[in-house]
Amino acid sequence: MATVTFYGAVDGVTGSMHLVESGSCRILLDCGLYQGGRDEEAHNDDPFPFSISEIDAVVLSHAHLDHSGRLPLLVKDGYQGPIYMTSATQDLIDVLLKDAASLQMRDVEWENKRRRRAGKAELTPLYNLDDVEETLKLCHGLDYNTTMEIAPDISITLREAGHILGSSVVQLTAMEAGRPHKLVFSGDLGNSQAALLRDPAAVADADVVLMESTYGDREHRSMEETLDEFEDVITRASQNGGNILIPSFAVGRTQEIIFRLGELYQQGKLPQQLVCLDSPMAIAVTEIYHRYQNVYNQQDKQAIEQHSHTRDPNQKSLHSFLPTLRYAVTTEESIAVNRIASGAIIIAGSGMCNGGRIRHHLKHNLWRSQSHVIFVGYQAVGTPGRILVDGATHIRMAGEDIAVKAQIHTLGGFSAHASQSQLIDWFSHFENPKPRLYLVHGEDTAKQALKSALAAKGWRAEIATHAKTITF
């Protein structure tokens, strides 16, 4: 009899972590950071609720930090086993985990200066760059749709999830007494309207399914309506002379926004002469996306190949598709962007405005009525992005109280997560009788709404709770 215990992303949308046990083997699905407000992030310091020495393998669904960000802490605390993921995810976490470690070290160093002056005990970061390097040595990249035994009598197959580059639906099979016990973990499922990546793969067979529910209580606007509004904001900003700020997640959302701006450029509908990507991490990730164009959907791949402003097939990429794109890599280049008062589209991290260079661009633009801020992704409770979306008239940003006079836009159609109907459609492909379904990775309202919508189809779903163990 196999079991799974829910340890993360059950009371919210971050900190994904589930422990699968079969016979004498233990497999950890994801090992993510808690993100959001201070109370949420305080859980990152909690000890792992299991014996690390007894973990045989870790399987990572994708690279986002809320699914991968505590891996170096796991290694720091003694884990030395293999970590499995897709090859693209392996390349991405090299960037994301190093960035996470650098930010932690910088923030702790800054806080400790204050603590020393106050005579308080100093803090230590969750992990450092050495811990990340040790983690990367344990990583193994797999191809989609390849079955591999990762522990005695336990095998996995990674299917496309369509969420970000390399994201996967994890199929885990545990053999006990000659009988397979099958678990499917959705990871994060992608929005079928999104650009670049293929739709999530349909899976038919499982005993138990763990399914994300981030947008289980809503439908996304159609992509056609979203792109119409996107184009309208771009036109209005050009007419009134304001900048457009797009707080964007470095992995996935940034690359889709660049592609959509490229489409407008190719149609002659992009009046701005400068699109600035001001995020070293997003720049590095965009270059990784270029290396994995083989997993793009065929339509968007062809558009890039046919309309790129280069004849060299090896240089056809998002950058050549949008020739007005410029990278701001150094701090000096980022500061120079702050001096641009109008006519620019600035894409910068972080996506929820709780760090990164976007905070400085907001500081220089939020108080201007001609400025526009476009939110293109989920804003967790307690983050500056959520505060702005909820209509704040003032916000504390980069050490100052800033009046919010800029026009705030939320374009939900750009979400990288499946909507309620898309989640239901994905689950509908499982054969009857339907597997037992547990909802994870969502706020309570989203999970309750999705549970009700599934019940209306005659399908029962249970809401996972922290530390609950189920058998399958």
Task: Give CA–CA dist 368/351, Å, rounded.
Answer: 21
Q: Above 80 in pLDDT, residue 142?
A: yes
Tell me the mean pLDDT in the region 94-118: 94
Q: Which residues pair with 395 in a beta bridge?
A: 402
Give me the sign of the Cα torsion angle 349, 282, 144, 294: positive
Task: Give CA–CA dist 184/197, Å, rounded.
Answer: 21
Domain 3-218+416-471 belongs in CATH node 3.60.15.10: yes
CATH of the domain spanning 223-414, picked from 3.40.50.10890, 3.40.50.150, 1.10.10.10, 3.30.70.360: 3.40.50.10890
pLDDT of residue 258: 98
Tell me the mean pLDDT in the region 198-204: 97
CB 411, CB 230: distance < 8 Å? yes
User: What's the pTM value of the predicted model, to 2 decimals?
Assistant: 0.91
Tell me the mean pLDDT in the region 321-330: 96
Q: How far is CA 1 from the centre of its chain?
A: 33
- Lowest mean pLDDT of 45-54, 77-86, 292-301, 348-357, name the range: 348-357
Task: Give CA–CA dist 239/219, Å, rounded.
Answer: 32
Q: Report domain extents, the chain.
A: 3-218+416-471, 223-414
pLDDT of residue 397: 85
Tell me the mean pLDDT in the region 267-293: 96
Q: What is the pLDDT of residues 146-200, one digit of tens each?
A: 999 999 999 999 999 999 999 999 999 999 989 999 999 999 999 999 999 999 9
Distances from the Cα of 314 to the Cαs of 87, 193, 290, 310, in angstroms? 20, 27, 9, 9
Q: Above 80 in pLDDT, residue 378?
A: no
Indicate the average pLDDT of the chain: 95
CA triple 284-349-321, angle to 5 deg = 55
Structure tokens belonging to residue 139: 């990583």
Q: Above 80 in pLDDT, residue 307?
A: yes
Give me the sign of the Cα torsion angle 41, 47, 49, 55: positive
CB 187, CB 8: distance < 8 Å? no
Q: Coil, helix or strand for 24?
A: coil
Tell me the mean pLDDT in the region 271-281: 95
Task: Give CA–CA dist 254/347, Å, rounded.
Answer: 7
pLDDT of residue 25: 96
List all residues 6 or more positions away from 197 whose beta carbon is below 8 Å from its beta carbon. 160, 162, 163, 164, 165, 167, 190, 295, 296, 297
pLDDT band at 21 (very low <50, low <70, confident <90, very high): very high
Structure tokens belonging to residue 324: 């007005």
Lookup result for tokens 């005993």: 207
Task: Give CA–CA dist 382/391, Å, rounded.
Answer: 13
DSSP H helical ranges for 292-419? 298-307, 318-321, 331-338, 358-365, 384-389
Give me the sign of the Cα torsion angle 180, 24, 132, 335: positive
Indicate the helix (H) or strand (E) that contains 83.
strand 83-86
CB 64, CB 97: distance < 8 Å? no
pLDDT of residue 415: 86
pLDDT of residue 315: 82
What single DSSP character describes residue 221?
Answer: P
Task: Give CA–CA dist 212/462, Å, rounded.
Answer: 12
For the purposes of burial, counting CB atoms within 10 Å of the CB of 120, is it exposed (0-12), middle (13-18) or buried (19 or more)?
exposed
Lookup result for tokens 């980069």: 398
Percentage of residues in the chain with pLDDT exceeding 70? 100
